[in-house]
Structure 1
Amino acid sequence: MHAIAALDSRPVEDPLALQDIEVSDPTVRDRDLLIRVEAVSVNPTDVKRRMKVKADGPPRILGFDGAGTVVALGSAVEGFAVGDEVWWSGDAFRDGSNADLQAVDYRIVSRKPESVSFADAASLPLTAITAWEGMFERMRINREDTGTILMVGGAGGVGSILIQLAKRLTGLRVIATASREESAAWCRRMGADAVADHRDLAASVLELAPDGLEYVFSSYTPGNIEAYGQVLRPFGQIVSIDGGKLDLLPLFAKSIGFHWEYMFARSRYETWDMAEQGRMLAETAALVDAGEVVPTATARIGDFSAAGIREAHRLVESGRLIGKAVVHR
């Protein structure tokens, strides 16, 4: 089959950064769906992983978000049939969606929304799961909760869907951060109640919420811990999705809780509740079909090749992308 692979950690401008190759079809395990990939989106984690590929190692087929059609089933698969149109976010430790075919554990897959294209569907799985897990599992927000949540990086992929889910599924007030007017306008379009300037984070947030916040969902954590300590109320909660070494001492005096969110933990360790990710995707699909949530694709590239994937990586690396970049057939 055709696949797009990283063979070395090259700059995205280099035509060899991602290459079209031919590889064997995936091996289908008992719990796998074999899916023909129709569309993918590129996330910051794709860029980070591309830049870690070693020239003396095997080709790396990247890609997490995907939407496509089931073409074969493993012997232990339940609830799916050949021909189903599905979406998923894959497994960080298996070959990804930048290929004609991908084998994915059925427990982390659901049927895609019927009302949108494969391209629009591919914009949501990784970010929706990250938002669901971060809000409802890490911070244990429930649907009756009120208060205020700050979404740091509101116009990014995760921010774009978290704002929508928080407004549809909780009683929270949502403040998003942005630094450009077009980013701020996008956050408001997604449903944010207010937009803060992340270049002067603490002062800008406290103008909008003088009594402080209950929750912070952070896409850009290094350098912001002190500001989070200032804007959060005692016993507030932070979820971070970007990793890194951090000094958490500014959170101590207010007994602020800090959580990591890594959506690949379930698939990496094959946890007993892996199917929760399939359920989250099914619920998100229902919200999309009901018109409660909109896809977040803003750049649609109709070139399912190394050139098209490189262009999506370039947009992500620019730091100016609003929403998601999608590559489709």
Structure 2
Amino acid sequence: MKAVGFKTSLPISEPESFIEVETEKPTPSGHELLVKVKAISVNPVDYKIRQNSAKNTVLAQPKIIGWDAVGTVEAVGEAVTLFNKGDEVYYAGDITKQGSNAAYQVIDERIVGKKPVSLTIEEAAAIPLTALTAWEIFFDRMRLSAERDQNKTLLIIGGAGGVGSIAIQLAKKLLGMKVIATASRSETIEWCKKMGADVVVNHRNLIEEVRKAGYQQVDYIVDFVDTNLYWDAMAELIKPQGHIASITGSPTPVLLNKLKSKSVSFSWELMFTRSTFQTEDMIEQHIILNRVADLLDQGVLQPTLTQTLEGLTADNFKQAHKQLESGSTIGKLVIRF
């Protein structure tokens, strides 16, 4: 089968940063589905893995990445109970397994959902990783609820990106919160407003901008950009007994003692935790994806797709990664096969 991968970590401008390869079509077993992939979307995790997983080495076999896909179930393992051959599905994948940048992929049914019926293949491919990340950060890590948190203030750092775009919608539509999102360009400001943000502030002077908008402090903060870059601002802006959560990690220690006097909680979120550790509740991602599909089909949530490329080619993946690495992407970029 055809796939696009790499053998060494190179700048995206290099000819060999992505290569087209032929590899064996996988066979599903156990809880696995064999999916004929129709479209994928690209996320920051893709280029971070490409940049760092094969530094100063040449792999014997090409590494195939990719963690968002839509496709059709072609075969099932012997333990599969949730899906049948012919079902249209969408999912965000497993970082420990071969990725979705290929004609076919095997994937555990417990982290797969039914494709939203009302969405195109491209629109559906843009959803899984970002929706799972936003859902888990709100409901599993921060344990927010509409009953308790309606009308409370939420600051989203990075409102126009993939996760921010769906997080704004979940916070407004499901939780009823007052959403303050960060953006700096006219087009990203408008996008955040389109997604449902009540207020948009410039992230370059975060404390000043939030307070100029009328908020001395906020109840909750989620960071989708850079934990340490905004740490001092978050520590200053969060209310006593508030909660901060981040998906971005940190190459240096996070100074949690800055939160102590306010008794503020802090959480990390990594969407791959359940699949990586095969947690007992791994099937929660199947449940979440189905719930998100229903919300999309009901029109409660709207798609976040902004750009589509056509074809399973190395050139398309180079173009997509270059776009994401620029840091200027709005919403989600999809490659349809």
Q: TM-score range with shorter-chain normalisation? A: over 0.9
3-state SS in 2 of match to 1:258? strand
1:209 shift after superposition: 4.1
Residue 205 of structure 2 corresponds to residue 213 of structure 1: no
Which of 231, 234, 243 is matched with 2:240 structurally? 234
Quick one: percent identity of the two aligned structures? 44
TM-score (norm 2): 0.96
1:156 shift after superposition: 0.3
Counterpart residue number, 2:16: 16
Counterpart CA distance in 1 for 2:261 and 2:53 is: 42
Q: State how many pairs are aligned.
A: 329
Counterpart residue number, 1:326: 334
1:29 shift after superposition: 2.3
Counterpart residue number, 1:39: 39
Letter in 1 for 2:145: N
1:211 shift after superposition: 4.0
Counterpart CA distance in 1 for 2:142 and 2:10 is: 38
1:298 shift after superposition: 0.7
Query: What are the residue-to-residue correspondences of 1:111-150 with 2, within 5 Å?
Result: 111-144=114-147, 145-146=149-150, 147-150=152-155
Counterpart CA distance in 1 for 2:214 and 2:27 is: 53
Q: Pairwise CA RMSD of aligned residues?
A: 1.0
TM-score (norm 1): 0.98
3-state SS in 1 of match to 2:322? helix
* CA-to-aligned-CA distance 1:280-303 (integer Å, 9 cap, x gap): 110110111111111111110012
Alignment gaps of 5+ in structure 1: none
Counterpart residue number, 2:25: 25
**Aligned 8 A contact 1:42 1:313 in 2:** yes
Counterpart CA distance in 2 for 1:14 and 1:222 is: 31
Counterpart CA distance in 2 for 1:303 and 1:35 is: 17
Counterpart CA distance in 1 for 2:67 and 2:157 is: 23
Counterpart CA distance in 2 for 1:200 and 1:40 is: 35
Q: Name which of structure 1's ranges 148-157 and 290-299 shifts more when overlaid on structure 2.
A: 290-299
Counterpart CA distance in 2 for 1:286 and 1:216 is: 27
Residue 176 of structure 2 corresponds to residue 157 of structure 1: no
Counterpart CA distance in 2 for 1:53 and 1:27 is: 25
Letter in 2 for 1:247: L
Counterpart CA distance in 1 for 2:317 and 2:122 is: 14
**Aligned 8 A contact 1:154 1:177 in 2:** yes
3-state SS in 2 of match to 1:253? helix
1:251 shift after superposition: 1.6
* CA-to-aligned-CA distance 1:84-115 (integer Å, 9 cap, x gap): 11000000000000000010000000111011
1:143 shift after superposition: 2.1
Letter in 2 for 1:95: Q
**Aligned 8 A contact 1:6 1:53 in 2:** no
Residue 216 of structure 2 corresponds to residue 196 of structure 1: no
Residue 41 of structure 2 corresponds to residue 56 of structure 1: no
Counterpart CA distance in 1 for 2:63 and 2:198 is: 41
Q: Name which of structure 1's ranges 221-230 and 51-60 shifts more when overlaid on structure 2.
A: 51-60
Counterpart CA distance in 2 for 1:62 and 1:313 is: 12
3-state SS in 2 of match to 1:187? helix
* CA-to-aligned-CA distance 1:151-208 (integer Å, 9 cap, x gap): 1000000000000111110121111001111101000000000001100001111222
1:26 shift after superposition: 1.7
**Aligned 8 A contact 2:210 2:216 in 1:** no
Letter in 1 for 2:73: V
3-state SS in 1 of match to 2:262? coil
3-state SS in 1 of match to 2:207? helix
Runs of 4+ in 1 over 6 A off after TM superposition: none
Which of 174, 178, 181 is matched with 2:179 structurally? 174
Residue 276 of structure 2 corresponds to residue 276 of structure 1: no
